[in-house]
Amino acid sequence: MEINLATVVDGEFDYDLMGKALDAYDDALTPSQRWSCIHDGTHLYYCYMARLIELANKPKSLLRASFDVRRDIILAHTGVSAALSPIPFSFAERMESALLRAAELPLWLWDPDSQSRTLSDACPPVVLARSGGSGMLSPPSFVERMKPSTLRATKLPTEIWDSVLSRLEYDVQLLSRGICTWWCNILTPCTHAYLVLSLPDRWTDIIPHEEPEEVVTFFLVVRGVRFQNWPVFPYNFFLHLCPEVETVVFKDHGSRPYVARPSNIPCPFLLPRSVVDLSLIRVSLERYSIEGMLSPDGCLRQLYIDSIQEGGLYLPALLSSSEHLRVRDSLAFNSFRRSSLSEPPAPSLKYLKLDILRDPYGIQVTRQRPQLSLTGGFALVHQLFQSELGHLQYGLFVGDSETFPLQTRVSCLEELDMCIGTQYYGDTSLLWPGMSQSLTTLTVRIREPPISLSPLEYGVHCGPVAEHHSGGSVSNINLNGLAALLTLNVFSVYHGVYGCMQMISSHIHLGEIMGFDYMRHKLDGDVRNNGLAFRGTFTLALRSPQWIMDNRDYDDGVSLTAALLSNTTLGLRHAKCVRYHRDTLVV
């Protein structure tokens, strides 16, 4: 569908007009065509945004003024101030301190844009002198200031300016951009490296009946984008405008009054290939997935998942031929992802934080009954870690010669930080095989967060209630299978220490704790018992209060007692290893 963008003229931003134009454009495209247009930047949305930017950059733009009015309304109702934080010292003193830390030789500063007006109008000139013969730099007295020379600052290497100005605090750097054009050009990459899209937590109360506009800004130096309570639209405005974005954060407050659902990241929102660090905090990916929003040829290294809703693909148990084609089209398998499926890039994900203990509103997620299909958090973890169950789901629409997922593969994952409910404990042993040879650092956080109950009558609220069990029939996480693990960190409340020890014992064998040399030292006599050694019958009893001992531990115990008995130096009468299930001897 052809749309003449010249008909979009300067004026107050009309969200309905843009929405209708985009809907009509999308209706004329197939899913594969839509994905291809989004990926290569020819979609109407990006052409429309380019037209808006062109209009907003004109002098006395009515479009830009309409954005400013809306922003001022929100700030006025929330008391948000854009003023800089108070500066305890004068600007000149901070500038002088930065110069003293950075420079190696005597140096004068002045305004490069003017021969007559010196920098002393905003920043008193500073000379760096060495005190005595010590070689130490000492700040001169402001009374002893000398007249600036005629040497122009533009003749100094840019590296010197970078070294000096980078030592200023952020708020002082912002002030310094107003000194002169030269400083503004040097400091802008430092002060404007991140684009933060943020609305106050109460913004839905301020403008409850109007559609929020998306402020589109283009910075070539942008390295990060942060959405905080900001509505996410299906089309990513910085996908082609900011090609160097590396860090992206989606963060929602999670408990806005009168808002029943968290902020949702809709399909087909797509991130640029330059993203290496992605954070999802208290947001929803209903009818979408984490892998779906990542470019197939990217290089994602760090992924933070904290209290999100959904995130995995919802797939039916059986797919008809028409549904099979529809799923592949919706995942861009027949468009820009096609080549990556057959020739996938090398796995790049090195760090993963997975915290799915709570939902976006802080309520602990529970699941008391098993379900036949993978949904919610179970679909997320099995698909994310590519377990056998996850592969079975993907096998419905991924060919034998194809690789999927691409960016969230964990085969090279080195560090995992996880906090999950007890309903997932029984599934963890299915997750380790995919990263058994790469994971070196594991952090497990066993938390029992409070559950805030709904308000009762007459405005009376119940206090927080500790939830000790969120479902499942397994009491601890089994770490068996992590062959490359070097560092294990376990965090728990006091009454959860026993469960932590159970989890740790699933990875540490008895033979690693109690070996032959250790036991021989204990059975031999020493100075504390006057050299009296044990020569009787030694029985090593292994007992677990919940279940029988692991076979590996029992085998270690049998080998240990056999070695002790065969050692003639010890001279034991007999040695054996037995194991109990609670108080019952297991034969």
Name which residue leads in pLDDT, 515 or 148. 515
Domain ranges of the chain: 5-78, 91-191, 249-505, 510-586
Name which residue leads in pLDDT, 74 or 276. 276
**Token output for 221:** 């130096």
Say yes or no to pLDDT of 88 above 60.
no
CB 573 within 8 A of CB 537: yes
Strand arrangement, sheet containing 247-251 = 194-198, 224-228, 247-251, 277-281, 302-306, 351-355, 415-419, 441-446, 487-492
pLDDT tens, 227-238? 988 888 899 988
> pLDDT category, 349, cuts 50, 70, 90?
very high
> pLDDT category, 209, cuts 50, 70, 90?
very low
**Could you give the residue ranges of the DSSP H alpha helices within 457-571?**
497-505, 510-513, 516-523, 551-566
User: What's phi and psi for 383, nearest 5 deg?
Assistant: -75, -35
User: Please, what is the angle between helix 91-102 and helix 158-165, to 10°?
Assistant: 120
Q: pTM for the complete prediction?
A: 0.66
Say yes or no to pLDDT of 103 above 70.
no
pLDDT tens, 151-206? 555 667 777 777 788 788 877 887 888 777 777 878 877 777 767 776 666 555 55
What span, in angstroms and rounded, lies between the C-alpha atoms of 584 and 293? Answer: 54
441: enclosing H helix or E strand: strand 441-446
Burial of 226 (0-12, 13-18, 19+ CB in 10 A): middle
Say yes or no to pLDDT of 429 above 60.
yes
Give how far Cα 39 sits from Cα of 27, 30, 46, 341, Å.
18, 14, 11, 16
**Token output for 500:** 């932590």
CB 527 within 8 A of CB 514: no
Which range is least confidently modeled, 212-221, 478-487, 532-541, 578-587? Answer: 212-221
pLDDT tens, 433-447? 989 899 999 999 887
What pLDDT is recorded for position 108? 38
CB 293 within 8 A of CB 308: no
Place of tokens 């106050």: 200
311: left (phi over 0), alpha (psi -120 to 50) or beta: left
**Could you give the residue ranges of the DSSP H alpha helices within 148-282?**
158-165, 170-176, 181-191, 203-206
pLDDT tens, 46-86? 888 888 888 888 888 888 888 777 766 666 655 444 333 33
DSSP 26: H
**What is the residue type of 375?**
T
pLDDT tens, 460-470? 333 333 345 77
Q: How does strand 415-419 pair with strand 351-355?
A: parallel
